[in-house]
Structure 1
Amino acid sequence: MSSSHLVHAEDLPWTEVAHGTRVALKRKQLGAAAHGRKLGCSLVELPPGRRSWPLHYHLANEEALYFLAGAGTLRLGSEEVPVREGDYVALPPGAGTAHQLINSGTEPLRYLCFSTMEEPDVLVYPDSKKVGIMAGAAPGGDKASRTLHVNLPLAASVDYWDGEEP
C-alpha cells in the first residue's frame, strides 16, 4: 500500500457547506483524500442550532454515522432520536431510513459519515418532495466525473413514449 492511501485528518482542509439559515456544516472527505473507491468517509462538524443535509434517503447507497463528540437529534423517518458521543447508526438504502441531523446541543456535533460509493444513485427528499439522480460518480464523489446530475420534483412524470417518433 502506498503512503498516498494514508491521510491525517489534521492535514486536510475543511470544506464548508451552507444553505440559508438552517443548513451549515464543515467536512473533511477522508475517503477521497486516501483514494478510496468503494467506501467514502467524511469527518463532519455541525455547529449548534444547525442542520446537516436536507432530510433524504438513498436508493443505492448505504450510509452509517459514528458520533465522536457533542449531542444532537437524528431525524429518522418521522421519529426524532437523540444521539451523542459513542452512538452508531446504520442507514441502509430505502424510505425507512430518511435522515437528517440537527445539532440541538450547545457544542459542535462531530461525527464520521461512512457511505458506499455506488453509482448511479437516486436520492429522495421527502420534505421538499423532490428526487436527485446521479450517475458517473456517487454522491460525495468526483463531480467532474458525473455524466448525469439532476434534481426534479417528485411529481415530474411523462409517459414512456412521450417525445418518441410514432
Structure 2
Amino acid sequence: MAQIFRKDTMQFKLRQSPIPEFSWHTSEKLSELAKSEHMQFNVRFLDPGKYSYPYHFHRNSEELFVILSGTVTLRIPDEFLILNEGDIVFFKMGPSGAHQLYNHTTEPCKFLDIRTVFGLDVCEYPDSGKINILPYEEIYESSAKVDYYKGEEKVKDKW
C-alpha cells in the first residue's frame, strides 16, 4: 500500500535546543505514520543562521538528504560544500559519513531526511566527544572508554 504525504497538509514543530544556534523545524514523524520498519524519514527545514544537529556520524545507519528548497552549507570531513534545491547527498556509516548543515542564507532551507533503522545505532559527535545510543538517546562522553576486561579481575569470586 502506498502512503502519500502532501506538502500542503504537513505540520511542522520547532525543535529548539538550549543552544540557540541549534534549531530546526520538523514534520510529524512520517515514518511512524507510515509504520515503516527500516526507515525513518521527516521533512525538516532550517531557518537562516541555524545549524542542524551537532556534527555527527552513525555506526549502524545510512542517511540521505534531499534538498527540497533553498540553499545550505554542508560540513563533511575536511570540506564544506554548498547544497542547492534538487541536490541529493548520501552519508555512509562511520566517520567518513560525518555531517552537519548550516543555513548561511537569508531564506529557509527545506530538506527530506531519510535514515535506515536496523535495531540499535550508535551516533558519535567528533567535536564534543560524545556517543549517543539510539533510539534510547543515552548520551555518554567517549573519554570514559575503558578496556573490555576492566573490573573483571575477580571473576572467580562470583562463582
Shared fold, TM over 0.5? yes
1:76 aligns with 2:76: yes
Unaligned runs of 5+ in 2: none
Structure 1 stretches of 5 or more lacking a match? 138-145
Number of matched pairs? 152
User: Higher mean Cα deviation, 7-16 or 109-118?
Assistant: 7-16
In 1, the alpha carbon distance for the partners of 2:100 and 2:37 equals 25
- Counterpart selection for 2:146 from 135, 138, 158: 158
Distance in 2 of aligned mates of 1:160 and 1:39: 32
Report what 1:11 is aligned to.
9
The CA RMSD measured in Å over matched residues stands at: 1.7
User: How many Å separate the matches in 1 of 2:54 and 2:38?
Assistant: 24
Alignment partners' CA distance in 2, 1:117 and 1:159: 29
| 3-state SS, counterpart of residue 144 of structure 2 | coil
Cα deviation for residue 155 of structure 1 reads: 1.1
Q: Secondary structure at the match of 1:155?
A: helix
1:102 is the counterpart of 2:99: no
Q: Deviations over 1:33-74 (max 9, x none)?
A: 221111121100100000000000001000000001111100
**Could you say which structure has the larger radius of gyration?**
2
Write the letter of the residue equivalent to 1:27. T
SS in structure 1 opposite 2:96? helix
Paired-residue identity, %: 31
Distance 2:25 2:104 in 1: 17
Q: Which amino acid aligns with 2:145?
A: S
| Other structure's SS at 2:24 match | strand
The CA deviation at 1:120 is: 1.1
Q: Which residue is equivalent to 1:67? A: 67
What is the CA–CA distance in structure 2 between the aligned matches of 1:131 and 1:153, rounded to whole Å? Answer: 6
Q: Does 1:23 align with 2:22?
A: yes
User: Partners in 2 of 1:66 and 1:102 — Cα distance?
Assistant: 15
